């Protein structure tokens, strides 16, 4: 085999290997999953900014949009500038264990007593504590499907109700126990299966004749809190790079095929016709 043919065959073999390896390697890279930061005791998922990170990269790695990242981190400037070591809030999840972290266990229900002559009433509201601060906000709606139990310590009164959402948005969103005798009451709330508490769901309340008390208890959905009106999460940042690598690998395969064809043509023996004649 002459040296020219050897070089062509070597290049052909190299191109074929490269063409096969690049698409498979890009496919593996596209399927690699970025390790998601673990939620802290308070349910907050925090990401530490690394060198070369940008808002687009961080959002794409964690399956959210840049707008959602801005909403979760209100201190980001208009250029979305990131600094190495900066902590970014990626999402909020409910606490998965039944034991509340210290920060949440310290939260107590909000009690609003309203003296009313001749009326003794205790009203209980179970609300979706979306931000997990154990304080009822105006934008945090009531939660249906919970169970509320009201029991007087000396067994003078005991009753339970299920939380529902009334059709009238202006009506009180909780449940009320009316015409109850004065005394010391234990209020216990059971949350729906897809929620976890953000505060203690037991409370002791002293009720006097003619009082009306409103008690609020917070629970949080187990799903990550994102803005439902925001656009769909951005595609993985590695998708474009994988596509380019795949195209490049395909071009290498075509180039290898062309060199193979050329090598095959040059390897065919040529027929030669002598044009020289000898005169006598």
pLDDT at 211 (0 to 100): 82
| Domain ranges (residues) in the chain | 3-93+228-266, 102-221
**CATH architecture under which domain 3-93+228-266 falls:** Roll (3.10)
Confidence of residue 30 (pLDDT cuts 50, 70, 90): very low
Q: Among 97-111, 163-177, 243-257, which stretch is predicted with the lowest mean pLDDT?
A: 97-111
**Residue 35 burial (CB count, 10 A):** 7
Helices (H), the chain: 3-31, 55-61, 66-72, 102-105, 238-266
Q: Give pLDDT tens digits for 74-94.
A: 888 888 999 999 999 887 765
- Placement of tokens 């959210």 in the chain: 64
Long-range contacts of 232-238, Cβ-Cβ distance < 8 Å, separation of 24 or more: 232/65, 233/59, 233/63, 233/64, 233/65, 233/68, 234/56, 234/59, 234/60, 234/64, 234/65, 234/66, 235/60, 236/30, 236/60, 237/56, 237/57, 237/60, 237/61, 238/29, 238/30, 238/32
Confidence of residue 207 (pLDDT cuts 50, 70, 90): confident
pLDDT at 144 (0 to 100): 92
**Cα diameter, the chain:** 148
pTM of the model: 0.43
- Placement of tokens 């070591």 in the chain: 85
CATH assignment of 102-221?
2.60.40.10
pLDDT at 150 (0 to 100): 92
pLDDT at 123 (0 to 100): 92
């Amino acid at each position: 085999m002459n040296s020219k043919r050897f070089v062509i065959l070597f290049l052909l073999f190299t191109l074929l290997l490269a063409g096969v390896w690049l698409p498979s390697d890009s496919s593996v890279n596209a399927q690699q999953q970025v390790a998601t930061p673990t939620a802290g005791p308070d349910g907050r998922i925090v990401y530490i900014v690394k060198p070369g990170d940008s808002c687009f990269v961080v959002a794409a790695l964690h399956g959210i949009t840049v707008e959602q990242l801005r909403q979760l981190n209100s201190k980001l400037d208009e250029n979305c500038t990131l600094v190495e070591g900066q902590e970014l809030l990626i999402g909020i999840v409910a606490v998965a264990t039944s034991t509340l972290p210290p920060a949440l266990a310290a939260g107590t229900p909000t009690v609003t007593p309203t003296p009313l002559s001749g009326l003794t009433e205790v009203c209980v509201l179970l609300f979706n504590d979306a931000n997990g601060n154990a304080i009822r906000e105006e934008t945090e709606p009531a939660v249906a499907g919970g169970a509320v139990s009201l029991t007087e310590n000396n067994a003078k009164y005991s009753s339970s109700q299920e939380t529902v959402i009334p059709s009238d948005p202006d009506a009180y969103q909780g449940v009320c126990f009316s015409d109850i005798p004065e005394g010391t009451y234990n209020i216990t709330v059971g949350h729906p299966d897809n929620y976890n508490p953000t505060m203690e769901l037991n409370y002791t309340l002293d009720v006097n004749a003619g009082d009306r008390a409103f008690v609020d208890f917070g629970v949080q959905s187990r799903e990550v809190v994102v803005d439902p009106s925001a656009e769909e999460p951005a595609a993985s940042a590695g998708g474009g790079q994988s596509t380019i690598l795949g195209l490049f690998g395909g071009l290498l395969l075509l180039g290898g095929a062309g060199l193979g064809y050329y090598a095959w043509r040059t390897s065919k023996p040529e027929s030669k016709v002598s044009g020289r004649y000898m005169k006598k």
